[in-house]
Amino acid sequence: MPFQEMLDALGNLFGGAGLPGLPSAPGTSALGTSAPGTGLPGFGGSGASGGQGDPARQIAMAAASEGTSEPNVDPVVRMEYEALVRVAELQVADRTGLTVARTGRLEVQPVTRTVWASKSVDAYRPYLSQMARLPTEGLPDDPSLSWMSGLLASMAPMLAAVTTGTMVGRLAQRSLGSYDLPIPRPVDGPDADTLLVVAPNVDAFSADWSLPTEDLRLWICLHEVAHHAVLGVGHVRDAMGDLLARHAGAFRNDPSDLGGLLGDTGLDPDALGDPESAAEALAGLQQALDPDAVLDAVRSPEQEALLPRLEALVAVVVGVVDHVMDEVGSGLIGSYRQVTEALRRRRVTTSDADRFVEKVLGIDLTQAQVDRGSAFVAGVVERAGDEGLARLWAGPESLPTPSEVDAPGLWLARLDLPD
């Protein structure tokens, strides 16, 4: 059976069965292409989207909107956010001494979930797509599986797009802004100083928790601006980006593990030519590609070695941002304690699906991780005040080691050692 036909069958499986958050209408795949035989956008077939645009972005946008049309953000809401971000920018710059805007002026864009997904794909793609790499050599020495190396090679772009698009779309359904996760955003181009706020998600959270809408919006602006300032420090951004990239690049893609995983499905290429058995055969493949099973198969010792450094840096960034917000927000937002309690509880009580995205990235925002960052910042401020905390911005050597995050006094002592 030609591999293109296999891909079309796989596309129908992923589309027809429904990606997370992508219900399929009768007669169509979840991505909007005509079924059967059309495949996924960008991977051949005769669907309207086939071969055009960025498949990962298309999938992310479809997942974010859950197949429904979203109304544009009210212009009045846009103007309110513009006023609030000016306040947040001035307050964070004054409190931290950091240059908040890299190009001179910070902009905020209240957007829909679909627009957030579209604009966020490029920031997340380098770290998410790597998990979907599949081996094309070294599969189990079984003649009946000899066809699989070609299939895997053909599937690789599709799986990378599905992985990235589905996860970014999932994040869009829940995210409140650009920095729900401390992922550095692009520093070049027209959006280098643009903060995204997912307006419908913010308003829904305000209603669900009975929070004053303007207070919540200002809190979100402070949160976004503080992250933008901290991750705008060159050596902090470089260290975070390097660790995330190295973690993403260290997925093992072990042929024996993944080949065995796929071989266990009993997928017979000849069965794909029979419409009645194709669905059953491919359903076994889809089950084998369960995200947790794939993640377990591709984790590597190199990633385990990187995690302490990545977790330490994430803890410090989150701890510093929370400290800045407490210093600024408590005197600026009337319901600051109530809003903060609701949002910080939300941060550490994510669903399994959202936690899976964090695991892929190597970022695990558990309560213990947040408390670790808070304890480091509190220990530094207690010993050396905010001036001591500002020593984080001196240069790459000023970032604490994992051991120093748990012993801030040792970090300060190291910085005081003569060169």
DSSP string, 310-372: HHHHHHHHHHHHHHHHHHHHTTT-TTHHHHHHHHHHHHTS--HHHHHHHHHHT----HHHHHH
Q: Which amino acid is at 7?
A: L
Q: How far apart are the first and last CA of the chain?
A: 67
Q: Tokens 């805007």 sit at which residue?
A: 101
- pLDDT at residue number 355: 78
Q: Provide the pLDDT confidence category of residue 206 given band limits of 50, 70 and 90.
A: very high
Distance between CA atoms of residues 402 and 419, nearest Å: 21
What is the C-alpha radius of gyration for the chain, rounded to an integer number of angstroms? 23
- pLDDT at residue number 87: 96
Report how many helices (DSSP H) and strands (DSSP E) the chain contains, helices first. Answer: 17, 2
| Letter string b/e over residues 68-101, b meaning 16 or more CB atoms within 10 A of that residue's CB | eeeeebeeebbebbeebbeebbebbbebbebebb
pTM recorded for the entire structure:
0.79
Q: What is the percent of the chain where pLDDT is above 70?
A: 70
Q: Provide the pLDDT confidence category of residue 1 given band limits of 50, 70 and 90.
A: very low
User: Using an 8 Å Cβ cutoff, are 21 and 165 in contact?
Assistant: no
Q: Which amino acid is at 86?
A: R
pLDDT at 376 over 70: yes
Q: Tokens 């001494």 sit at which residue?
A: 97
Cα 55 to Cα 58, 60, 358: the distances in Å are: 5, 8, 22
Token pair listed for 204 = 């829904």
The residue among 275, 88, 94 whose CA lies nearest residue 195 is: 88
Note the Cα 176 to chain centre separation in Å.
13
Q: Mean pLDDT: which of 15-19, 86-90, 360-364, 367-371 is highest?
A: 86-90
Per residue in 10-52, pLDDT (tens digit) is 444 333 333 333 333 333 333 333 333 333 333 333 333 333 4
Per residue in 114-172, pLDDT (tens digit) is 999 999 998 888 888 776 555 444 445 555 445 555 555 566 667 777 778 888 998 99
Per residue in 255-300, pLDDT (tens digit) is 455 555 555 555 555 554 555 554 555 555 555 556 566 666 677 8
